[in-house]
Chain A
Amino acid sequence: MARRLTLTGNDAAAEAMRQIDPDVVTCFPITPQTELMHKFAEFVADGDVKAEMVLVESEHSAMSAAVGAASAGARVMTATSANGLALMWEIVYIAASNRLPIVMPVVNRALSGPINIHCDHSDTMGCRDTGWIQLYSENAQEVYDNVLQGILIAENPEVLLPVMVTFDGFIISHTVEVLDALDDKDARDWVGDYKSTYSLLNTDEPATFGPLDLQDYYFEHKRQQIEGMNNATGVIKSVGEAYGKLSGRAYGMTENYMTDDADYVVVALGSTCGTAKVVVDEMRAEGKRVGLLKIRSFRPFPHAEILAGLASAKAVGVLDRSVSFGAPGGPVHKEILAALSGTGDATVVNYLYGLGGRDISLDHIRTVFEELETLAGKTIPADEVRFIGLRG
């Protein structure tokens, strides 16, 4: 039986965490993530969960404590945003390299400076090479669903990698939405119990995590990590299908929304996809062949789904909500170009939008589709970036 709830994105993540009831949760407050851990602290205080919650003195310590607890064999979660994620950086790599299946909601927020607390993707895009799986969420429903799926993806023995479930700061984190949640028994059965392969607490079979690993074996260990990430593609899909059977909401690597016969496709991540779907519906009603390719899993990157989603496109508008300074276009644009390399002659146009929480409207996205129509067939230099909603 599904339960229909009215929650903010932060509360939706906390609700999933309540049902998962991890062994250990580490936390440190940072806007706009704070309310998530706040809610979870209430669950702890009210005895709704058995989780051991540790409030530490910085995010670096939050991730360090998470790594310690996960090495001991615990199911561990934490959450953060922006500068908090940046401060964790060193240990973010270690969590992935030590193959610890930590699941971390990251509430997207612009990185300083100047200081800004609103949404863009500079924090998690900066983390794209850390070895973490990254699932982007469109709304509170997906936040909830992705957190529950993240546990199974991370802990899969063929993967054993940490997962970031990202969602847009304030736009999703502080907005109240209606969503369907599993009932507690179904959710508990879904995540099951976690039994780690190796545990520091198992003194009968001592294990060592993260020792000095130089020219002798480091390279082989990285190769194993690459394979774990490659394996994640299949696991994300199979977990998404199984979750669909349980909840009625199936998930894949991407959501290809009306792309099958689309001439013009917008590629986006996060809450902007909800806005883009409205524009696609409106323009479809006007007889325009437009579509949206929503990237759910940015790591691993969904090459096959991208190719399928863009197969009929004459022009593609890639929407980036973060900058890769000095690079040809934003992070998503570069990857789309790489995926399409040698496959045809779709015109790919890069749009930079929404930095520091700058709003993106239906009109903006409509303008992108209209511009794509005029640009189809033309060659756009890879480093040419168009700005949405920028003054001057």
Chain B
Amino acid sequence: MSQAIERARTYLKPLKKLPTVWCGGCGLGVVLSSLTRVMAEMGLDKNKTATISGIGCTGRLPTYIDTNTLHTTHGRALGFATGVKLANPELTVITAMGDGDSVAIGGNHFIHACRRNIDITAIIVNNCIYGMTGGQYSPTTPHGKRGTTAPYGNVEYEFDIVSLAAGAGATFVARTTVYHVRELDKLLERAIRHRGFSVVEVVSNCYTSYGRLNKFSGPVDMFKWMKESAVTVKQAGEMSPEELEGKFIRGIHVEKDQPEFIDVYDKLAQDLTKGPSTVNQKLRATIEGYEQLGDKLKAGIG
């Protein structure tokens, strides 16, 4: 056990960055520990892994992780991640985003990354609120729940991130909570191993900004809510719509094989450059140029 913790710890940056900026009781620490544990168990090469984020509480997550990291602008983690992956397809690319980051300001990037099926893992920590800026309601704040900009309850309706990702074409879609830690480990590993665009929605708790406004007595109360409200895919299959009222479904929702974007692209390039025509020669020269650039980039990163 302690060896596993020691291994996970090697994926954290030197301790001067700790403690984290997150409030006491926040679920993001659970996500950070789970991700580093999974990285250690998988033996991911730090120099061949890139952890990328946007803005917000979750945006701070790569600050603590000792891989290549890129802290970008609000909503654009997937845009930057797509560039990183295209420039160096050998990298394992993981993005960490909050609900505001991924499905509000970055919503368009999100659905198109799903559609494109590029080999990136998107971890979405959904705490149902804009936490860092003080509790404004977000696109995942449930209808009727309170935010500081919805003091009498949210009049809008929330996104279901799993349905959104599935509808947009993501080939691996899962959901769990920060209470279900072992499942979180398992799902993160499955998502990282999945060849294609994978989404893991991690339902989390923001007691500071969301819990206090919505009659939770403390962070533990919010963990209890997750324990009681999250039902497995299997359990849900046996429950009536009435029984499912107020519940959400955890586990793997989508897992399918579909050719990955870079694989398709490479195959197309190979097919097009067969044969002796001038066009093909030019294409070959262009591709070789990109490959040389890629080698230079890799040398720089290594």
A residues touching B (Cβ–Cβ < 8 Å)? 27-31, 34-35, 37-38, 41-42, 45, 55, 57-59, 83, 87, 112-115
Contact = CB atoms under 8 A, between A and B. Distances in A.
Given A57-B107, A58-B105, A42 B133 contact: no
Interface stretch (B71-79, B111-119, B277-285): B71-79
A45 B152 contact: yes
Nearest to A33: B133
Interface stretch (B15-23, B44-52, B134-142, B233-241): B134-142
A83 B133 contact: no
A38 B104 CA distance: 18
By secondary structure, the B interface counts as: loop
Contacts of A28: 105
A31 B133 contact: yes
A57 B134 contact: no
B55 interface: yes
B130 interface: yes
A58 B149 CA distance: 15
Contacts of B73: 83, 112
Interface in B121-140: 130, 132-134, 136-137, 139
Contacts of A113: 71
A38 B134 contact: yes
A55 B149 contact: yes
B229 interface: no
A115 B133 contact: no
Contact of A34 (B133, B137, B151, B152): B133
A35 B152 contact: no
Contact of B136 (A29, A83, A114): A29
B148 interface: yes
A87 B106 CA distance: 12
A45 B134 contact: no
Nearest to A32: B133
A126 to B, nearest CB: 15
Contacts of A29: 130, 133-134, 136
A112 B133 CA distance: 17
Q: Lowest 4 A-B CB distances belong to which pairs?
A: A29-B133, A58-B105, A57-B104, A45-B151
Given A38-B148, A58-B105, 7 more contacts: A35-B134, A41-B148, A57-B107, A57-B139, A58-B104, A59-B105, A115-B71
Contacts of B148: 38, 41
Contacts of A34: 133-134, 136
Contacts of B55: 83, 115
Nearest to B148: A38
A57 B73 CA distance: 15
Nearest to B156: A55
Nearest to A35: B134
A41 B75 contact: no
A34 B133 CA distance: 6
A30 B100 CA distance: 12
A23 B241 CA distance: 42
Contacts of B136: 29, 34, 38, 55
Contact of B74 (A27, A83, A114): A83
B69 to A, nearest CB: 12
A135 B97 CA distance: 36
A302 B15 CA distance: 52
Contacts of B105: 28, 57-59, 87
